[in-house]
Amino acid sequence: MPTEQKTDTVFSKELENFIAEWKEKPGNLIMILHKVQSEFGYISRGAAMKVAEMLDIPLAKIYGVITFYHFFKLNKPGKNVIQVCMGTACYLKGGQAILDETAKHLNIPVKGVTEDGMFSLESVRCVGCCGLAPVVVIGDEVFGKVLPEQMPEILANFSE
């Protein structure tokens, strides 16, 4: 088993205490899954199994929640998370073409991660700067009025 998967099932003391504290409270599953994702950046199968065991609930119930809410990630995100805004303003100004160009350039689907782990690609709702539409966010950098053909150059700055 890869080391990565192993470490994703080793919960910090803080996380274990949090789960113990929330174990009997209503709405606990969402709170706990948020906490797991904030610790690892995503929810691995191993982590989901561990939560199921700790809460004594079926694994299917956990996957029901993780797959229902778009916020939860099942795969480890890339080092640089590319968020292409598909909110109304960005969509109308060509968000889809940016998303398609980025997916083609990186050879990954939306929600995919490049083989080298450098990039992951997400389609997101309005990121709050519609005046700059269409918008792409990479890490904590915001790119406005982006043209699809600019994406390879923008991404090249994150490749080291």
How far apart are CB 128 and ligand FES at their closest, in Å?
A: 6
Establish if 146 lies at the interface with ligand FES (CB under 6 A): no
Q: Which of 48, 82, 85, 121 binds ligand FES (CB under 6 A)?
A: 85
Three-class DSSP category at 83:
strand
Note the maximum CA span of the chain: 52
Query: Would you give the binding string for ligand FES spanning residues 106-135, x where CB under 6 A is met?
Result: --------------------xxxxx--x-x
CB closer to ligand FES, 104 vs 145: 145
Long-range contacts from 7-13, C-beta under 8 angstroms, 24+ separation: 8/40, 8/44, 8/46, 8/47, 8/76, 9/44, 9/46, 9/47, 9/49, 9/50, 11/36, 11/39, 11/47, 11/50, 12/39
Give the shortest CB-95-to-ligand FES separation in angstroms: 7
Amino acid, res. 16: E
5, 88, 157, 159: which one binds ligand FES (CB under 6 A): 88
Binding site for ligand FES (CB under 6 A): 85, 87-90, 126-130, 133, 135
